[in-house]
Chains A and B, each alone.
Chain A
Amino acid sequence: MDKTLQVEHLEKYYGSRSSLTKAIDDLSFDVKPQEFVAIMGASGSGKTTLLNCISTVDRPTAGHIFVDGEDITKLKGEALNRFRRERFGFIFQDFNLLDTLTAYENIALALSIQNVKAAEIDKRVIKAAKDLDIVNVLRKYPYEMSGGQKQRVASARAIVTEPKLILADEPTGALDSKSSRLLLEKFRYMNRELQATILMVTHDSFSASYASRVVFIKDGKLFHEIHRGDSSKKEFFGQIIDVLALLGGDVSDAL
């Protein structure tokens, strides 16, 4: 069982019989522990649908998704919620921080809903804040922070529960380039130093170049995947651009 995530023949259809849209069409891939995988594709390629299926927000039409060996397509109701709470950490494009809570409380909430003790919560929140370099904004409210700070708070919230898999949906989508770079550095740090397994959906090749592997999808199918191996970030970026050129379509305008 050395696979954190295993997607097998996943299919997701939308619409009725007369006008069927295959958002995901027989897609299979897997993520090993401590991997940092980026999924790239044009808008409409099925990236978000895939992430929704993995994160149990949406149900696939057919196929299986195994997380840590457990088939999450079979889970229902409260078991699904528990699974999501305990195994996944989420980072969203629009941060999804609660505007009524401070940064500290936002991070702590992820733990308190798992009934972690107050003393333990404090220790872990401080640790996560140090890791993500947000100790000085812990007392602030979301509206008092910059986008980059908000996204790092969201990342701290995702990692503080020590999940099996962190799911990031366009995490740099709402950030400027400097904040993006800072955030991605933190992702790499989380991946290398904190042994976090990350699955990131993006259409930005610069973001993808931080990953150790990039999976390309087109029209709901696996198009290509490239491993970074020993190549530098710059070289890897070049490889990604090459694939994107092949992929064509509107992804290229994300350059």
Chain B
Amino acid sequence: MLFKIAWKNMRKSIKDYTIYFFTIVIGVAIFYIFNSLGSQTVMMNVSADTREIIKMMTTIMSGLSVFVSFVLAFLIIYANRFLMKRRNREFGIYLTLGMGKRKVSGILVLETLVVGAFSLVAGLGIGIFASQFMSAFVANMFDADMTKYRFIFSGDACIKTVICFVIIYGIVILFNTINISRCKLINLIYAGRRSEKLRMKNPWICTIVFIVAAIALGRCYYLVGSDKVDISLDGLKWILITGVVSTFLVFWSVSGLLLRIVMSIKKLYYKGLNSFVLRQLSSKINTTVFSMTIICLMLFVTICVLTSAFAIKNTMTANLKKMAPADIEFKVNMNLDLFAGEDEEYSRKQIENSHFNVVQRYEKKKVDLNKYLKESCEVKVYRSPKLTFAEFCGDTIKDVKEQYPFMIVNSAEDIVTISDYNRLMELFGSKKYTLAEDEYMVVANFDGLIPARDQVLSQGRQLNVFGKKLKPKYKECQDGFMDISSKKLNTGFLVVPDDVVQEKWIAEDCLFGNYKAVTKQEVRKLEDELRKLPLKSTCIYASKQEIADASLGISALVTFIGLYLGIVFLLAGAAILALKELSESADNVERYRMLRKLGVENHMLNGALFRQIFIFFLCPMVLAVIHSYFGMQFSTRLLAYVAEKDQLFTATTLAAAIIAVIYGGYLIITYFSSKSIVRE
């Protein structure tokens, strides 16, 4: 009998709350898919470095899963409490019929078990199915060849998913049992008849609260958005707390003010069903200020995480082509006796060895690099202990120190000769320069430091380089770099006329080269050989292939983290909104029936319903978008090394598309299901 009741209740509520069950099933599926990422890469043919990154990714994913399971637990427990409240009447009937509280709890336990089992099985099924497609995507991200297709099932991820959701449903059962044992029959029976108390908030208090919250938010925006202010970790904590509290206050006050404001515009308020729609909305926002805040913050995190992830990925992909124009770079430290730091000690052998350049060192080991390289170019980097970054900056060093408190300012500047530089540019296929006898120039591409250098250059700063006075040829830094990498990390080096430098101040010797090998397989084979040679760790600075592997791995990692967190947050937020809306359609049925009796046409009713749902969904989104605009300014500064501003637009578009599809999808499903509930 109990089971029959539970089963019938289930079927009834599944019809009403399809969207909720759907969300849980998707949640389970996503949980499984992202936890099984590791096993999906098993059959891929990837390098050892990539394998390392995949291992790291698996660890990070299971760490994130703990966090994600908290979000899902919040969603399920919140939704459950919500659905229970709706059913108070029903429980009241059971109790008046003489059913014991134990039995009622029993019904609920059964229901939860059925829902839980159903969602777990369905979610895992979908997850396992979808992960087959996911692995193609994963292979694409890691630029790996799918050697052969194989059905993948990750038992590990499966067990993890089951454990996680069993715990969540266990908590739900606990909550329900406590809830039932505590409630009083009288409250249950009259639950449906609770008078709809709509206390209007005091408009003055609302206005004041709104202004205070707006100012607080504005200050947070200023603090995170401006690059003038330096934020400590502690400061950031306070900004976050202020932001959360102000977000809450904004919703609290807006729910009161919105109605007041529109009411005062009589022409708008008394037009069609506007008064009805607005009242509905305001009562709904009034009762959901707390969840609105949480949803808004979740959307905010979603937007930031997705955008940052895509920006990082795009930047890496774009930079890879531009930033690594040579296949390999060798680099050795020279003249250690001159340049050794205070706390560095080298053996005599090391010091002796440091008087040889790259090619000589290989020759000593009887290796001819020309066997591998089609073309090459040697660049010598000079340094002068007197010419430090601080010396370069001159009087402006104070400002620079203020702006970049962590900057090491007394390191010697790198100096290369113009002919070395031009030969390298020949190899890179980039722009060449000429310099007069008494001129120098600065080449840099790290956005963070260019303004400081430009300021110095624009003042025509004269430098003493190895005893010669040089003046800047350009008033700003020239775009360029020497070391191949995946990022724009060149903080700047000086290019000077050939006869300025002195041989003994060579600090580093670099050799750039392109391989004789052409295809990917050949390159891999050649690199394996190179790495087997002696001197591999002391001489090889970086190779294009290595950079590519690392950057692909990192961008894949970042993308997966972004997608995982973003989608779960988005789902949870949208599902709560949808649920809130749908759970009230029971009340709405009555209201819409009245309106229909008054002769309101169907298209007008549907319009009212849509507007109501649309604005309800829009509210947290608007604030989240504003938050994100400023939040992104902060994170682009934070991620300056890995995400460039020009990649932000495409990233934002991509993130917006994903959000629009999921969030908009929920909106539309909510609209159609409440329309069908409201329709007679």
Bound form: Cα–Cα A119–B270 in Å:
9
**Nearest neighbor of B273 in chain A, beta-carbon distance:** A113
Q: Let me know if B207 is at the binding interface, CB within 8 A.
A: no
Cβ-defined contact, A143 with B195, below 8 A? yes
Binds B, one of A60-68, A76-84, A247-255: A76-84
Does B600 count as interface, using CB distance less than 8 angstroms? yes
Please tell me if B638 contacts chain A, counting CB pairs below 8 Å: no
**Do the beta carbons of A105 and B600 come within 8 Å of each other?**
no
Q: Mark B258-285, 1 if CB is under 8 A from A, else 0.
A: 0000000011011111111001100100
Chain A residues near B283 (CB-CB < 8 A): 100
Q: Which residues of B contact A82 (CB under 8 A)?
A: 599, 601
List of B residues within 8 angstroms of A141 by Cβ = 196, 198
**29 examples of A-B residue contacts, CB within 8 angstroms:** A78-B601, A81-B602, A83-B599, A85-B598, A85-B600, A90-B597, A96-B597, A98-B594, A98-B595, A99-B195, A99-B196, A100-B279, A100-B283, A105-B275, A110-B598, A112-B270, A112-B271, A113-B272, A113-B595, A113-B599, A113-B600, A113-B604, A115-B271, A115-B272, A118-B269, A118-B271, A122-B270, A143-B195, A143-B197
Asked whether A101 lies within 8 Å of B195 as measured between CB atoms, the reply is no
**Which of the residues B196, B267, B600 comes within 8 Å of A100, measured between beta carbons?**
B196
Q: Give every chain B residue within 8 A of A119 (Cβ-Cβ).
A: 266
A113 and B198 contact, CB distance less than 8 A: no
CB of B545 to closest CB in A, whole Å: 66
Tell me the bound Cα distance from A57 to B597 in angstroms.
Answer: 8
**B524: A residues at CB distance < 8 A:** none
A109 contact set on B, CB distance < 8 A: 273, 275-276, 598
- Point out the residues of chain B lying under 8 angstroms from A216, CB to CB: none
Q: Say yes or no: A122 contacts B598, CB within 8 Å.
A: no
Nearest first, the 7 closest Cβ-Cβ pairs linking A and B are A85-B599, A84-B599, A143-B195, A100-B279, A118-B266, A99-B196, A118-B270
Report the separation of the CA atoms of residues A92 and B597 in the bound assembly, to the nearest whole angstrom.
10
For the complex formed, measure the closest distance between the CB of A114 and the CB atoms of chain B, giving whole angstroms. 9
Interface residues of A (CB under 8 A from B): 57, 78, 81-86, 88, 90, 92, 96-101, 105, 108-113, 115, 117-119, 121-122, 141, 143, 157
Chain A residues with CB under 8 A of B279:
98, 100-101, 105
* Docked-complex contact B275 and A108, CB < 8 angstroms: yes
Question: With A85-B599, A100-B196, A143-B195 in contact, do A112 and B266 touch (Cβ < 8 Å)?
Answer: no
CA–CA, A100 to B591, complex, Å? 9
A101 contacts across to B, CB distance below 8 A: 275-276, 279
Q: How far is the CA of A111 from the CA of B271 in the complex (A)?
A: 9
Q: Which of A90, A97, A112 contacts B273 (CB 8 A)?
A: A112
B271 near A100 (CB under 8 angstroms)? Answer: no
CB-CB contacts below 8 Å: B574-611 with A: 591, 594-595, 597-604
- Beyond the given pairs A81-B602, A121-B266, 13 more chain A to chain B contacts, judged by CB atoms under 8 angstroms and listed by A's residue number, are A81-B600, A85-B599, A88-B599, A100-B196, A100-B198, A100-B283, A100-B591, A101-B276, A112-B270, A113-B273, A115-B271, A118-B266, A121-B270
User: Measured between C-beta atoms, what is the minimum distance from B679 to chain A in Å?
Assistant: 14
Q: Taking the nearest CB of chain B, how far is it from the CB of A82, in angstroms?
A: 7
Q: Which residues of B have CB within 8 Å of A90?
A: 597-598
* Residues from chain B with Cβ under 8 Å of A99 in the complex: 195-196, 591
Query: Which residue on A lies nearest to B280, using beta carbons?
Result: A100
Give A111 to B195 CA distance when docked, in angstroms.
26
Q: Is the CB of B601 within 8 A of A81?
A: yes
Report the bound CA distance from A109 to B275 in whole Å. Answer: 7
State A16–B266 Cα separation when bound (angstroms): 52
From A85, A105, A108, A119, name the one whose CB has the most chain B CB atoms within 10 angstroms: A105
A118 pairs with B276, CB closer than 8 A? no
Determine how close the nearest CB of chain A comes to the CB of B674; give it in whole angstroms.
16
CB contacts (< 8 Å) of A122 on chain B: these are 266, 270
Separation of A117 and B273 alpha carbons in the complex (Å) = 13
A104 to chain B, nearest CB (A): 10
For B269, the chain A residues whose CB sits under 8 A away are 118
Residues on A with beta carbons closer than 8 Å to the beta carbon of B600: 81, 85, 113
The contact of A98 among B274, B276, B599, B604, by CB within 8 Å, is B276
| Chain A residues near B275 (CB-CB < 8 A) | 101, 105, 108-109, 112
CA distance in complex: A98, B195 (Å): 12
State which residues 228-281 of B face A: CB under 8 Å. 266-267, 269-276, 279-280
A82 to B604, CA, bound (A): 12
Q: Which residues of A contact B267 (CB under 8 A)?
A: 117-118
Chain B hits for A100, CB < 8 A: 196, 198, 276, 279-280, 283, 591
Which B residues are CB-close (under 8 A) to A110? 598
**In the complex, A90 Cα to B596 Cα: how many Å?**
12
Q: CA separation between A141 and B199, bound complex, in Å?
A: 10
Q: How far is the CA of A130 from the CA of B187 in the complex (A)?
A: 39
Partner of A113, one of B195, B280, B591, B598: B598
Q: Most chain-B CB neighbours within 10 Å: which of A78, A108, A141?
A: A141
Q: How far is the CA of A173 from the CA of B28 in the complex (A)?
A: 53
- Complex: how many Å from CA A12 to CA B116? 49
Most B CB within 10 A of own CB, among A81, A111, A115, A157: A81
Nearest residue (CB) in B for A105 is B275
Give bound CA distance, A121 to B266, whole Å: 10
**CA of A90 to CA of B283 in the docked complex: distance in angstroms?**
27
Across the interface, name the chain B residue whose C-beta is closest to A144. Answer: B195
Distance between Cα atoms of A90 and B591 in the complex (Å): 15
Contacts of A118 in B (CB 8 A): 266-267, 269-271
A39 to B167, CA, bound (A): 63
Q: Which residue of B lies closest to A100 (CB)?
A: B279
B660 to chain A, nearest CB (A): 31
Q: Which residue of B lies closest to A120 (CB)?
A: B270
CB of A54 to closest CB in B, whole Å = 13
Q: How far is the CA of A98 from the CA of B280 in the complex (A)?
A: 10
CB nearest neighbor in A for B603: A78
Min Cβ gap A56→B in Å is: 9
Interface residues of B in 462-481 (CB under 8 A from A): none
Complex contact A143–B271 (CB within 8 A): no
Closest Cβ of chain A to B265, distance in Å, is: 9
A143 (CB) vs chain B CBs: closest residue: B195
B613 to chain A, nearest CB (A): 16
Complex Cα gap A108–B268 (Å): 13
CA distance in complex: A98, B276 (Å)? 8
A148 CA / B275 CA spacing, docked (Å) = 24
Pairwise interchain contact B270-A98, C-beta atoms closer than 8 A: no
Chain B's nearest CB lies how many Å from the CB of A131? 19
Shortest Cβ distance from A81 into B: residue: B601
Residue of B nearest to A119 (CB): B266
Q: How far is the CA of A90 from the CA of B599 in the complex (A)?
A: 10
> What is the minimal beta-carbon distance from A244 to any residue of chain B, in angstroms?
30
Chain B residue contacts of A121, Cβ below 8 A: 266, 270
Q: Which parts of B258-316 form the interface with A (CB within 8 Å)?
A: 266-267, 269-276, 279-280, 283
In the assembled complex, the CB of A162 is this many whole angstroms from the nearest CB of chain B, namely: 14
B residues within 8 A CB of A143?
A: 195-197
A113 to chain B: which residues have CB within 8 Å?
272-273, 595, 598-600, 604
Most buried by A among B267, B271, B599: B599
Q: How far is the CB of A237 from chain B (nearest CB, A)?
A: 31
Inter-chain contacts of B280 with A (CB < 8 A): 100
A86-B599 Cα distance, complex, nearest whole Å: 8
Tell which of B595, B600, B603 has the most Cβ of chain A within 10 Å: B600
Query: In the complex the two chains form, what is the Cα distance from A7 to B595 in whole Å?
Result: 26
Residues of B within 8 A of A98 (CB): 276, 279, 591, 594-595
